[in-house]
Structure 1
Amino acid sequence: MKLYGVTGWKNNGKTGLMERLVAEFTARGLTVSTLKHAHHATDVDQPGTDSHRHRVAGASEVVLASPNRVAIMQELRGAQEPSLTELLARMRPVDLILVEGYKRETHPKIEVHRAEASTALIAPNDPTIRAVASDTALELDRPVFDLDDTAVIADFIAAELGL
């Protein structure tokens, strides 16, 4: 499996680019999975559902299966968050895994940057960031792409990974 990241500071457009890249790569015939890191508490389950009731009762893992999807919810209950490597090992094989977040990990990444967010670029101090996708012109020692030019960004990632 090939792995490529989309990183950047909050509110710079990471999720939008991820969404467009998934659509672009799947349209090209690739199988794609995503892995997103969240710094805040998040819950995909809703109070009142049977699966939520199982978790609240103390289940370590709840698997919710239907004809359309399977969701596996694992409660850490004070245990350390699994590493990126551990999470990737749990995923089914696909052509490409796109990772949102995990900016300090060593996999190759593209940084998303919006001028209006007024955040500093990560790229100048991080060699794992191979390119930047931005809504403004930037002078860098690596490629800078128009944030909205999804096909060109996908071409760059595909070339980097030999897809």
Structure 2
Amino acid sequence: MSIYNIEVTKANGEVTNLEEFKGKVLLIVNTATKCGYTPQYESLQEIYEKYQSNGFEILDFPSNQFLGQAPGSIENINEFCQLNFGTQFTLYDKIKVNTKNAHPLYQFLKENGPDEVILKNNQLVPTGKPKNKISWNFTKFLIDRNGNILYRFAPKVEPNQIITYLEELL
């Protein structure tokens, strides 16, 4: 099984798989609109605009599993993101990222991805959090052009802090 075979539902209800992103560098993020990390949408959009023409895509998967911080319909979330942050990257339907009912994509990411890291003095440092659980909203998975999950950044890692790792893959 590869990441490209996993079925996902876009915000508009279209069911597809990730095959369309084969050959691109991906940043997959579980998001929320009422979270302390919600302002990260701004820098996500900035790096998307800067690197999208180089084969970079951001896949946004809202999740309401952390203190109900992604309330409302997917239409409400989409409107909020576009009005407040001008987001243009692909928004998907709300999903679960933890528990036995976690979306297959997040089951795959947790099973096949590396341990969560933070950046300390420009060094990757493992957080020590369990690999089989997403710690919070705005956990970021960076995936190379071949579908390999290379990095799992903790929520507090700002999107602009991962640019060095992104540029290496582009």
Common fold: TM-score over 0.5: no
TM-score (norm 1): 0.33
Larger Rg: 1
TM-score (norm 2): 0.32
